[in-house]
Amino acid sequence: MKYFVRIAASLAFAASLGACSQQDATEATDTTPAPTETAAEFVARANAELEELSKETGAAEWVRSTYITDDTAIIAAAASEKYAKWHSGMVKQALQYEGQDLDDNTRRAIDLLKLGTSLPTPADAAKRKELAMIATELEGMYGAGQYCDANKECKNLPELEDVIANSRDYDELTEAWQGWRTVAPPMRDKYRRYVELVNEGASELGYGDLGEMWRAGFDMSPAEFEQEAGRLWQQVKPLYDELHCHVRAKLGDVYGADKVPQDGPIPAHLLGNMWSQEWGSIYDIMEPYPGVADLDVDSTLKTKEFSPQEMVRNAESFYVSLGMPRLPDTFWTRSQFTKPRDRDVVCHASAWGLDGGNDLRIKMCIKQTYEELRVIYHELGHNYYQGAYKDQPPLFQGSAHSGFHEAIGDTVTLSMTPAYLAEVGLVAEAAQSEQAVINRQMQMALDKIAFLPFGKLIDEWRWGVFSGEIAPEDYNKGWWDMRTRYQGIAPPVERSEADFDPGAKYHIPANVSYTRYFLAHILQFQFQRSLCEIAGHEGDLASCSIYGSKEAGDRFYAMLESGQSEPWQDALEKLTGTREMDATAIIDYFAPLMGYLKEQNQGRSCGW
């Protein structure tokens, strides 16, 4: 299931990066601070300039993603370069306030300004321009990528993903898996240069490398955050280990122990997903009790001929039931709901909060499937967050921390219970027997629990690359060493440093930090547990839907409205009453499945 979204707000405050007219750009990048400007006045000016900057570059990024051409690459790169130049100049000006006694809001705004890009650029104009072009080219190479077989029959990524999800032919899966990765080797040299340039930019902002800069954005030191991520992973690892053991055994039954050794890693192409990040597509193999409480939402969507827009209306109605506003009229006229026939676009689902959150959009290529419907619910979570904090100053228009943004929509999908789906007419009345509960939890765990180690390792690999711990000549080796250690998977064919398998995952060439997704998978269960308590739910956590609860919606929206105006611990406390991320809600939620897995794994040799 796709949960992976490029959120412009997380890249440059509240919206896609902004650009300006040539005159404005010149004025905005003057690095000479006003001689009598106080820190508060500096922040006010930064907010005013940022509000204008975000509009034009947001438009440039949108056009680049929905019209992939050489021309739009030039436009997007130029806009990105303008923002980078403005940001670099403003950070230099902000340094004059280091060591001053400032009020909390002003200090926080200046700190966020320094962290206001995931792509820090060198001060040198030529290098800044080079980095902007490389970043644009890498994303374009991914978006236009395709694999052509020996018969010159070509498939794009969605078509190859369909093969990985639906085929059970070992060799066909191998070809599709290997074929998509042919798009990545041309990225390798560009990525190596990109790492050099972003590290130089991060160094000029006072960080050791880009990885350290990313880890600094969590209201704790980079070292403390790394320890925190490790703590959360250890809380959930026992559940993952049991799931891995059972999945490996079932795949061995299908493909044979010669292809799936029962004491080693699982071949990566057999898990139903191009990147082995979520395993829900192999549920037909893993279904504990065949046919029990099958939630066939796909048939309903097709039988009732749901259009893409109607699927989005269905998701919108959930948020409205919590007391949140309807999406603006412009959302429906400006969003991309389907793949155009006449041009290349980035189909990867994303939510956009342009013009300071006043212009909300999604960009998708929607299909009539339950998986896509859940992605829509997730995307609207981003849009509602963007709309909720739009009245904050631009420097505070963002997520409490990056994991919050991803967790909002995912929390809502937890309320898409069988009872909810039946209530809104997407399935017939669904049984809630013990067997039905185990089936549903298996479906969810194949996506949400299987994802956890993947969500953690993507940035951990990049931290190693940025720090130099993983050298350019070991990019692929470091990638697979980490994937095997965390996920217990291995490539189906031999890989070498002639390959660049990290580049076959969108978030690497698109420069989107990935830790947010790992944290979101933790937070969504913690959020849901609190929301269910507020809604007065009685019973086990897995059966709770907050649909229609205005009380839960009010508390939820109050957290969203604060944006990043306060430390994430304060925002978390508003909803949960605690100041610490806690993965125990996952263990509570999946307790029935954990019991089932332990029973199934008795006598098996688990681990790899």
Picking from 19, 20, 64, the residue whose alpha carbon sits closest to that of residue 346 is 64
Sign of CA dihedral 430, 435, 441, 447: negative
Angle between helices 515-534 and 222-255 (to 10 degrees): 90
Give the β-pairing of 146-148 and 154-156. antiparallel
Picking from 371, 368, 350, the residue whose alpha carbon sits closest to that of residue 416 is 371
Q: Which amino acid is at 530?
A: S
Outline where 256-328 has alpha helix (H): 283-286, 297-303, 308-321
Tracing tokens 């809104």 back to the chain, one arrives at: 424
> CA 399, CA 13: separation in Å to the nearest integer?
9
Catalytic machinery residues: 348-349, 378-379, 382, 406, 507, 517
| CA distance between the termini of the chain | 25
In the chain, what is the greatest distance between 2 CA atoms, to the nearest angstrom?
75
Picking from 417, 449, 451, the residue whose alpha carbon sits closest to that of residue 436 is 417
For residue 557, what are the CA distances in angstroms to 324, 326, 560, 563, 571? 8, 14, 5, 10, 11
> CA 595, CA 434: separation in Å to the nearest integer?
12
Coil, strand or helix at 361: strand
> CA 558, CA 182: separation in Å to the nearest integer?
46
Coil, strand or helix at 267: strand
Contact criterion met (CB below 8 Å) for 591 and 239: no
Which token pair is 255? 């493909």
Phi-psi map region of 463: left, alpha, beta (phi>0 left; psi -120 to 50 alpha): alpha
In sequence order, the β-bridge partners of residue 9 are: none
Helix (H), strand (E) at residue 363: strand 359-363
> CA 30, CA 260: separation in Å to the nearest integer?
61
Contact criterion met (CB below 8 Å) for 27 and 85: no
Picking from 475, 421, 453, 560, the residue whose alpha carbon sits closest to that of residue 193 is 475
> CA 226, CA 220: separation in Å to the nearest integer?
10
In sequence order, the β-bridge partners of residue 566 are: none
Tracing tokens 């709770």 back to the chain, one arrives at: 544
Angle between helices 39-66 and 125-143 (to 10 degrees): 40
